[in-house]
Amino acid sequence: MNWQDPLVKKFVYLIVAMIILCPLGILLVWNYGDAWGEWDPSELAKEVGAQKVSGMLHLADIWSYAPLPDYDIPGWDDPLHASIGYIISAIVGVALCVGAYYILVKIVNPKPM
């Protein structure tokens, strides 16, 4: 793979800029609620009654092993720490996505027809 392509390089600069600026993605919406349908199940249960979401309460915690839940270091809740956690998550996420992509490409091994 030729990573020296000028257009690819431009996207790399863009990615670096986006990593630095990504805290805007939480700071601009600091006092906003969650995205629609992404609320915490226990809070939703309080609102609509637990029996209306009985299945949800069982299924919601099926995966609790995310190392950076909500793109943050657990406990880093104030805006400054959350911003740092967000940047760390962005770096980790980019590395994981590019790594996963690279492995997939190595397995699939595209060839022009």
Distance CA 44, CA 50 (A): 8
18 binds another protein (CB under 8 A): yes
Q: Where are the alpha helices (DSSP H) in the chain?
A: 6-21, 24-27, 41-48, 54-59, 79-108
Cβ-Cβ contacts under 8 Å for 89 (sequence gap 6 or more)? 68, 71, 72
20 counts as binding another protein under rule CB under 8 A: no
Among 46, 61, 73, 82, binds another protein (CB under 8 A): 61
73: contact with another protein by CB under 8 A: no
**Taking CB under 8 A as the rule, does residue 110 contact another protein?**
yes
Q: Residue 63, interface with another protein (CB under 8 A)?
A: yes
Shortest Å distance, C-beta 75 to another protein: 15
CA distance 108 to 73: 34
Between 3 and 75, name the residue whose CB sits nearer to another protein.
3
